[in-house]
Amino acid sequence: MLVEMKGIQKRFKRKEVLRDITFSLHSGMCAGILGANGCGKSTLLSILAGVQKPQSGSFLCDGMNLFKKPALHTQLVGYVPQGTPLMEELTAKDNLLLWYGAAQMKKELDDGVLAMLGIHTFLKTPVYKMSGGMKKRLSIGCAVAKHPPVLLLDEPTAALDLVCRENIVAYLTRYKAQGGILLLATHDASELDLCDVWYVLKDGKAQPFAYDGDVHALVKTF
């Protein structure tokens, strides 16, 4: 599968947040979107997720523009935003049931993606009683309900403890190994290691960056 972002442009009133964002990814690849706070990383991901519309540009999947095919977009793209995209007063199980069928959820909890994320351990816990790590794992679990081949994640391990972080990174590594395409907005070094290509967003433009583990060199480009 080939995913291409072409000429994506976004403006809020007079402020141009994204200018001609263009890059492409193959199956099994992970791209890291880097940059200072407020540079437009989350905006780019939310445009690709279909939450907001760009002024121009296209999001192609094997040549089909997903911006113009909403049903296909829903099927192919999973999205995990910053914050908690869950219903606080419901339990983990009830939240999962919003996205999964009962039989599918049971199967995934037994030996699928939900088991891998360790969600079975807090199935009856209401979201408002969960830790940040539990919420993030549950959010990813909900996002991948339809097994989307493209997954967009906005700082998936931010503010999580080491165990949770390792758990999530392990899942993402496996997702990538199974041919999934990952697009991460991140600041985290462990997530940077997961990426195959890196783009630094600055002044609305995405510049390719060759990350070699030198965080100082990376920060200088912001």
Partner 1 sequence: MLPFVLTVSVVLCTGLALVFHMILAQDTGRADKQKFKIGVVGETAGSYLGFGIQAIKTFDSSRFAMEMVYLEEPDAKAQLTDGEIAAYVVIPDTFVEKAVQGEILSLRFVSTSGALSLNTLFKEEITSAVSDILSSSQKGVYGLQHAMQANGLSQKAGGMMDRLAIEYIDFILDRSELCRVEVLGISDNLSLPGYFLCGLFTLFAFFLNIPCAPLLVKSDMVFHSVLVSKRIHVAKQILCEYTAFFILLFILTAVPISVLFLNGAAVLELSDFSIGMLPSLWLRLIPFVATVSCCGFLLFELVSELISGVLAQFVVSVVLCYIGGCFYPMAFFPDVMQKYAVWLPAGLARTYLAGYISGEAAWPALLGLCVYFVIFLGAAIAIRNRKIRKRRAAA
3-class SS of residue 15: strand
Query: Which residues are CB-contacts of 23 (< 8 A; sequence separation ≥ 6)?
Result: 4, 5, 31, 197, 199, 206, 208
User: Tokens 């600055």 appear where?
Assistant: 202
The residue within the footprint of partner 1, chosen from 70, 101, 179, 208 (CB under 8 A), is 70
DSSP state of 138: H
85 binds partner 1 (CB under 8 A): yes
186 binds partner 1 (CB under 8 A): no
104 binds partner 1 (CB under 8 A): no
Query: Which residues are CB-contacts of 195 (< 8 A; sequence separation ≥ 6)?
Result: 30, 31, 32, 182, 184, 186, 211
The residue within the footprint of partner 1, chosen from 4, 6, 9, 50 (CB under 8 A), is 50
Query: Which residues are CB-contacts of 162 (< 8 A; sequence separation ≥ 6)?
Result: none
Residues 152-171 that bind partner 1 (CB under 8 A): none
Report, in Å, the least distance between residue 214 CB and partner 1: 29
91 binds partner 1 (CB under 8 A): no
What is the rounded distance in angstroms from the CA atom of residue 179 to the CA atom of residue 166?
20
CB 148 within 8 A of CB 75: yes
CB 96 within 8 A of CB 105: yes
The residue within the footprint of partner 1, chosen from 79, 100, 175, 198 (CB under 8 A), is 79
Region of 20-28, 29-37, 67-75, 110-118 interacting with partner 1 (CB under 8 A):
67-75
Report, in Å, the least distance between residue 12 CB and partner 1: 5
112 binds partner 1 (CB under 8 A): no
Residues lying near partner 1 in the complex (CB under 8 A): 12, 42-43, 46, 49-52, 70-71, 74, 77, 79, 81-87, 89, 143
